[in-house]
Amino acid sequence: MGALHEGHARLIERARGESGLVVTTIFVNPLQFDRKDDLEKYPGPLDADMEVCRRLGVDLVFAPPVEEMYPQPLACVIEVKRIANHLCGAFRPGHFAGVATVVMKLFQIVGADKAFFGEKDAQQLAIVRRMVKDFNVPIEIVGVATVREPDGLALSSRNQRLSEAERKQAVALYRALQEAERQIAAGVTDSTEILRLARAVIPPDPALRLEYLEIVEPDEMQPVATVAGAVIVAGAMWVGSTRLIDNVKVQRTGE
């Protein structure tokens, strides 16, 4: 969705290494915003984004205006069911219907063999993979690992909206995820206890509001009561007026 950073660059580099021709799509999709003010504040520096694409050897950039993607009100959208019931889907009504619809449109327009998505939004990645399977779309979905700042903060276009003080506070979400990861590595399997200890890492600060912290299985994004095998610990936190998401995938030792 534009405001390209090193996380996006990693997607492009991965695509460049695996593909004969690389297309980058840049589109701030109004369908997936549940708050008008969030859409209005979303950064859109297209000239800078184009320069990033040039530097990384992108062959084509598809950056359509809203009127081209949605020339008339949509009569058909993709409904996302069970897989969107938790995590972000519980707090952003209609968000994943907007994501799935625009991604399907982009797949149809571009006609790619592979599409590269960041693992930072694990729920989005799971939904896109399921959509491709359910609708027999002939495209391979490739997940690319989250890129982080030296202190662990996941790169995000929304980070640009953080003040200097908020930027320092924002790493609290990743530290909570790390604590959950440590507890699982230590052999704790009860999700309630793991999440209690992880939440305790977030300092009691009025600028920080934890929206959710959950442990889910990786495919259907359903909460698990007991950790066994691979799980995703995912969270969303408000830092001031900016909402950030992050996750870690954990494999229980010995599984």
Task: Catalogue the active-site residues.
Answer: 8
- Contact present, 250 and 231 (Cβ < 8 Å): yes
Residue whose pair of structure tokens reads 């939904």 in the numeric block: 127
Alpha carbon separation from 238 to 8, 167, 181 (Å, rounded): 22, 12, 21
Between CA 102 and CA 136 the distance in angstroms is: 17
- Contact present, 97 and 104 (Cβ < 8 Å): no
- Contact present, 184 and 232 (Cβ < 8 Å): no
The candidate with the shortest Cα–Cα distance to 146, out of 245, 38, 252, is 245
DSSP assignment letter at 154: B
Nearest-Å Rg of the Cα atoms of the chain is 18
Alpha carbon separation from 148 to 155, 159, 209, 214, 244 (Å, rounded): 5, 12, 21, 21, 13
User: Which residues partner with 117 through β-bridges?
Assistant: 143
Between CA 244 and CA 246 the distance in angstroms is: 7
**Amino acid letter for position 121:** D
